[in-house]
Amino acid sequence: MILNPTIETLMNHRSIRKYTDEIPSNEMIETVVKAGQQAAFAGQLGSLILSREKKSHPFGAPIYFIVCVDIHRMQKVMEKRNWKMISSDAAMLLFGVQDACYMAQNLVIAAESLGLGTCYLGFVPFMADKLIEKYKLPPKVLPLVGITIGYPAEVPPVRPRYPLDFSCFEGKYPEFSDEQIERAMKQMDEGYLAQDYYNGGKLMIKLENDREETFNGLTYSWTEHISRKWGQWLNDPEELREVLNKYGFEFLKK
């Protein structure tokens, strides 16, 4: 494949969970924020919360961003134009998630291009009570993802990805063959096993049903791990409705 500095930054992405005590300069922070702002958008429906409270950050990172879906700010702009938002929360949330994701990815790429390490944290939306109180969030602001940033104190390997023919489909979506599925699973599992990712990190998820445990540290890998997540957790849509309602989004009805 063709390589240049931008593509090399993208291809070398890895999650960093150990950081040095060195603090990125204000200029670096401003640079990554502006790069985040410069992402494509539907309506600039993403905003950032910046924290420098190192002791309270995941992994003790010196800088912590929370990327938010921000419909509140858009409402304020519309009010100045004497407009009232009638677009549904469902529609605005979809556009807002897109904008926030574009912003987050731009921010991460910019940070990594400057020699910083990053890690996405997807559990953030489910901390509603704590985040609303701590950051004084108004309705229609949804913390979507956290991003830790700092100078890396580790150099983990780049994690595996699916084969291209399991990710990019030209012309139409395919009907997967058993061989194609098994090959993709093998690429993921063997890649993670070679890195001792789950065994070394003691990351095996316990079974919460009547299934018999057939995996151990030498066989448990990515496809079983991700299957246990989506096969055991978050099965009640009421839980998601309650979370979104706390942030002021109401569209999932009982």
pLDDT in tens, 100-147: 999 999 999 999 999 999 999 999 999 999 999 999 999 999 999 999
Return mean pLDDT, the chain. 96
- Interaxial angle between packed helices 128-135 and 237-246, expressed in degrees from 0 to 180 and rounded to the nearest 10: 10
pLDDT in tens, 207-234: 998 999 999 999 999 999 999 999 999 9
Spatial separation of the C-alpha atoms in residues 253 and 14, rounded to whole Å: 39
* pLDDT interval class at 250 (50, 70, 90): confident
Domain segments of the chain as ranges? 5-155, 164-232
Give phi and psi for 94, each to the nearest 5.
-65, -45
CATH 3.40.1830.10 is the classification of domain 5-155: no
Calculate the CA 153 to chain-centre distance: 21
Q: What is the pLDDT of residue 201?
A: 86
Helix spans in the chain (H): 5-11, 26-37, 71-80, 89-113, 128-135, 178-194, 197-200, 222-232, 237-246
